[in-house]
Amino acid sequence: MLFFLTLCLIVGCKSDAKEGSAAQRSPAATSTGFSGSSAYTYAKAQVDFGPRVPGTPAAQKAGDWIIRQMRARADTVIVQSFTYTTADGKKLPLRNILARFRPNLSERVLYITHWDSRPISESAATEAEKKMPVPGANDGASGVGMFVALGDALKKTPPAVGVDLLFTDGEDYGEFGPPEVDVLIGSRYFANHLPAPGYKPIYGVLWDMIGDKDLRIPYEMNSFQQAPEVVSRVWQTAADLGYGDVFVQESGGLITDDHIPLLNVGIPVIDVIDLTYPPHHTPQDTMDKISAQSLAKVGDVATALVTRK
């Protein structure tokens, strides 16, 4: 299977000839109609609320904002509100937000991004900075910005399949370990509280940290091992659109992220993530580190996957 997939992806490289024309397109004019500049503006709106740390007024406002944006774009919005007790006994109010397009279709695609931001900056240079929350321009807001702009595109051109956009909460709260403690909280909750009995999307994609100015997305290896057909589909679509230089055919290692709880309940979800990002988990994860151009490329792929059959 590994060899077969690699071969398919190599064959897919033939479409790299299209890269020249893609590079000449402006970020606001992707072939699918997805707007990278809108995605950037929406990401900035999230960052402007302040760090979206669960239980804070900023998180309350930012979550309310997402719900308002998606109610204006999607056919149905479901909010999963729950209280999570952390390992040290703290009660966190959390919300997963699920925005559904064409909810009556049984053939569906699930997209996931987390909307919370991290309470501490353990990778910062100084002890004082380590105690600060992460602004989360890339780690949180980039995915939210992409989803809201995707909402614009899907409102204009309804998808060919049903689409569920899941904004998870509490992804980045605690320790990734091992062992993992108080992380992937919203995604675990969703995996245990699916929106309908027998809910079984054909595949899913987690979009995380997709706004880096210097965007480069290798394979995430849990995804490559457990859902190779989804990896192949997404990387092939990116190559077809001329983004083979961004969606590179290299190993990016095994990453613990919101796709794992879904893989564990049999839903083939892959992680599209650029973890090579120097401001990761520092107070320097700010809007100047991400770009409309990067968001446009990823948003173009996300839109093409669900609007073309």
DSSP three-state, residue 124: coil
Among 116, 152, 172, 182, binds Zn ion (CB under 5 A): 172
How many residues of this chain bind Zn ion (CB under 5 A)? 2
CB neighbour list of residue 262: distance below 8 Å, 6 or more residues apart:
110, 112, 187, 190, 191, 204, 269
169 binds Zn ion (CB under 5 A): no
Contact 262, 191 (CB under 8 A): yes
> Is 139 a residue that touches Zn ion (CB under 5 A)?
yes
Smaller CB separation from Zn ion, 109 or 273: 273
Least CB distance from residue 2 to Zn ion, whole Å? 29
Q: Print burial letters for 10-25: b (CB count within 10 Å at least 16), e (below 16).
A: eebeeeeebbeebeeb
Complex with Zn ion: residue 203 or 207, whichever CB lies closer? 207
Q: Nearest to residue 40, comparing CAs of 304, 300, 303, 294?
A: 294
Whole-angstrom Cα Rg for the chain: 18
User: For Zn ion, which is the closer residue by CB, 125 or 196?
Assistant: 125
Distances (CA, A) of 16 to 33, 113, 116, 246: 21, 28, 36, 11
Q: For Zn ion, which is the closer residue by CB, 94 or 305?
A: 94
Q: How near is the Cβ of 30 to Zn ion at its closest, in Å?
A: 27
Distance of CA 218 to the CA centre of its chain: 15
- Burial class from Cβ neighbours inside 10 Å (0-12, 13-18, 19+) for residue 154 reads buried
Give 62 or 153: the residue with its C-beta nearer to Zn ion: 62
Q: At closest approach, how far in Å is the CB of 173 from Zn ion?
A: 10
Q: How far is the CB of 118 from Zn ion (least distance, A)?
A: 5
Segment lying near Zn ion (by CB under 5 A), choices 94-102, 161-169, 170-178, 185-193: 170-178
- Which helix or strand (DSSP H or E) is residue 19 part of? helix 19-24
* Residue 131 C-beta: closest distance to Zn ion, Å: 16
Asked whether position 152 contacts Zn ion by CB under 5 A, the answer is no
Going by C-alpha positions, the residue among 159, 152, 136 that lies closest to residue 208 is 136
Segment near Zn ion (CB under 5 A); pick from 6-14, 134-142, 282-290, 293-301: 134-142
Which part of the chain contacts Zn ion (CB under 5 A), choosing from 73-81, 93-101, 138-146, 265-273? Answer: 138-146
Which residues lie near Zn ion (CB under 5 A)?
A: 139, 172
